[in-house]
């Protein structure tokens, strides 16, 4: 099946992106340092929007660059775009075809802003509107659900961050990503077994925080589009402000909880839902205290720095969703209703 093979292509895709495109990304970074911008304004939809959530944390934390996620309807239906003065305008789209994302870059170019496209098609309308293009070079993605293009988008965002910061340590850490991705694929058989436990699940929540806020959203999206599960993603902090009330005995709570700055706060939430509310807990983590809480534990490779963990943590989530889809009797390569390229205006 296409989805299964594309999940397994990710180590090679990430390695190829790093080796073939890092020089171009560094050139873009050098050029951008000579242009004036005070913040990034990023437009995306669907899976690529979740990549934008990652950029929001990463570019803010490592590059001190505020990031605003665009509301494309202001550029199309309302025809009242916000002021983009001193913005780096970024469009993220695997196909580069969606008219509303293209419209955001077009307006940025009209206002004289530097524009950047992160896309799998360097000849797309989105790329045409960009001063700079990062071609994620993921190859044809035939499955409707995005997997390798998502992690390649994350990798491109991380590469640009490292290039802008000029950190040798970050550059060295990037080199390890393909091997960590390969290690995470070794969980395949375990995840097939774990998915059996959730074959009758109709609703759940997915928790993450910090850099992995994006992972919670992408995990939840894959559950929705492949398994048709009513899945809601939350920051663990937002979850405590009301939604936690829905948790009762046996309610599925899925959490992405690698070590890092937000780990202790997220762990407190997991302890509460497990010990006080008897939730059914699945945890993706590299920390034993989180894995020990779980009914279903998914261990990540050791040594992944927090800033790169979203690229790796989503891979076991993809495998879990794939296996759950098959167990539920659905076709993972052809989910109902949706198409590979969605062109919204």
Q: What is the pLDDT of residues 110-166, one digit of tens each?
A: 999 999 999 999 999 999 999 999 999 999 999 999 999 999 999 999 999 999 999
Whether residue 280 is predicted with pLDDT greater than 90 in this model: the reply is: yes
CA gap 64, 220 in Å, rounded:
29
Asked if 309 contacts 300 with a C-beta cutoff of 8 angstroms, the reply is yes
Q: Which two tokens stand for residue 103?
A: 């419209």
CA gap 201, 320 in Å, rounded:
13
* CATH number of 179-327, picked from 3.50.50.60, 3.40.50.300, 3.40.50.10490, 3.90.1300.10: 3.40.50.10490
182-198 mean pLDDT: 98
What pLDDT, on a 0 to 100 scale, did the predictor assign at position 236? 94
Q: Which two tokens stand for residue 280?
A: 């059914």
Whether residue 272 is predicted with pLDDT greater than 80 in this model: the reply is: yes
211-227 mean pLDDT: 98
Model confidence at 189, pLDDT cuts 50, 70, 90, reads very high
Smallest CA-to-CA distance from 32 within 71, 63, 61, 72 is with 63
Q: Concatenated DSSP letters for 94-136?
A: SSS--HHHHHHHHHHHHTT--EEEEES-TTSHHHHT-SEEEE-
Whether residue 283 is predicted with pLDDT greater than 70 in this model: the reply is: yes
What pLDDT, on a 0 to 100 scale, did the predictor assign at position 28? 98
Whether residue 199 is predicted with pLDDT greater than 80 in this model: the reply is: yes
Beta partners for residue 230, in sequence order = 203
Instruction: List strands edge to edge, sheet with 39-43.
Output: 67-69, 39-43, 87-93, 115-119, 132-135
**2-175 — its CATH code?**
3.40.50.10490
What pLDDT, on a 0 to 100 scale, did the predictor assign at position 251? 96
Per residue in 12-63, pLDDT tens?
Answer: 999 999 999 999 999 999 999 999 899 999 999 999 999 999 999 999 999 9
169-196 mean pLDDT: 98
Per residue in 59-104, pLDDT tens?
Answer: 999 999 999 999 999 999 999 999 999 999 999 999 999 999 999 9
What pLDDT, on a 0 to 100 scale, did the predictor assign at position 344? 75
SS3 276: helix
Q: Kindly report the pTM of this predicted structure.
A: 0.96
CA gap 73, 344 in Å, rounded:
10
Residue 72 DSSP symbol: G
Please name the helix (run of DSSP H) or strand (run of DSSP E) that holds residue 168, with its range, or none: helix 168-175
What pLDDT, on a 0 to 100 scale, did the predictor assign at position 1? 64
What pLDDT, on a 0 to 100 scale, did the predictor assign at position 334? 85
Contacts of 133 (CB under 8 A, 6+ apart): 116, 117, 118, 119, 122, 127
Whether residue 327 is predicted with pLDDT greater than 70 in this model: the reply is: yes
Strand ranges (DSSP E) for the chain?
39-43, 67-69, 87-93, 115-119, 132-135, 203-208, 230-235, 252-256, 280-285, 296-299
What pLDDT, on a 0 to 100 scale, did the predictor assign at position 185? 98
Whether residue 339 is predicted with pLDDT greater than 80 in this model: the reply is: no
Per residue in 228-268, pLDDT tens?
Answer: 999 999 999 999 999 999 999 999 999 999 999 999 999 99
What pLDDT, on a 0 to 100 scale, did the predictor assign at position 340? 58
Contacts of 54 (CB under 8 A, 6+ apart): 154, 157, 211, 214, 310
Contacts of 169 (CB under 8 A, 6+ apart): none
Per residue in 5-14, pLDDT tens?
Answer: 999 999 999 9
Strands 203-208 and 115-119: unpaired
What are the residue ranges of CATH 3.40.50.10490 in the chain? 2-175, 179-327
Whether residue 338 is predicted with pLDDT greater than 80 in this model: the reply is: no
SS3 146: coil
What pLDDT, on a 0 to 100 scale, did the predictor assign at position 336? 81
Smallest CA-to-CA distance from 268 within 280, 255, 249, 286 is with 255
Q: Give the mean pLDDT of the chain.
A: 96
């Amino acid at each position: 099946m296409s989805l299964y093979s594309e999940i397994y292509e990710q180590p090679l895709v990430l390695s190829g992106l790093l080796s073939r495109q890092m020089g171009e990304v560094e050139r873009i970074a050098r050029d951008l340092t000579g242009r004036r911008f005070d913040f990034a304004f990023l437009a995306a939809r669907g899976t690529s929007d979740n990549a934008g959530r990652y950029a929001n944390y990463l570019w803010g934390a490592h590059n001190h660059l505020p990031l605003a996620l665009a509301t494309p309807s202001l550029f199309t239906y309302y025809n009242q775009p916000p002021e983009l003065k001193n913005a780096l305008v970024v469009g993220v789209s695997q196909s580069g075809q969606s008219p509303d994302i293209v419209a955001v870059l077009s307006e940025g170019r009209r206002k004289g802003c530097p524009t950047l496209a992160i896309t799998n098609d360097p000849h797309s309308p989105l790329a045409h509107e960009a001063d700079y293009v990062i071609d994620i070079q993921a190859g044809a993605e035939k499955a409707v659900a995005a997997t390798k293009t998502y992690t390649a988008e994350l990798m491109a965002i991380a590469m640009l961050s490292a290039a802008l910061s000029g950190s040798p340590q970050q550059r060295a850490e990037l080199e390890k990503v393909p091997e960590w991705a390969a290690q995470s694929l070794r969980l395949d058989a375990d995840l097939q077994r774990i998915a059996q436990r959730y074959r009758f699940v109709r609703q759940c929540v997915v928790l993450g925080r910090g850099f992995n806020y994006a992972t919670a959203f992408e995990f939840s999206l894959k559950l929705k589009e492949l398994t048709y599960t009513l899945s809601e993603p939350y920051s663990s902090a937002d979850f405590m402000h009301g939604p936690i009330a829905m948790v009762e005995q046996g309610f599925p709570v899925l959490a992405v909880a690698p070590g890092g700055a937000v780990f202790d706060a997220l762990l407190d939430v997991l302890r509460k839902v497990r010990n006080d509310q008897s939730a059914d807990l699945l945890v993706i983590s590299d920390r034993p205290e989180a894995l020990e809480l779980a009914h279903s534990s998914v261990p990540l490779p050791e040594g992944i720095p927090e800033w790169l963990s979203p690229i790796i943590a989503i891979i076991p989530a993809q495998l879990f969703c794939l296996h759950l889809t098959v167990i539920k009797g659905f076709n993972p390569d052809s989910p109902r209703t949706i198409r590979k390229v969605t062109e919204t205006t």
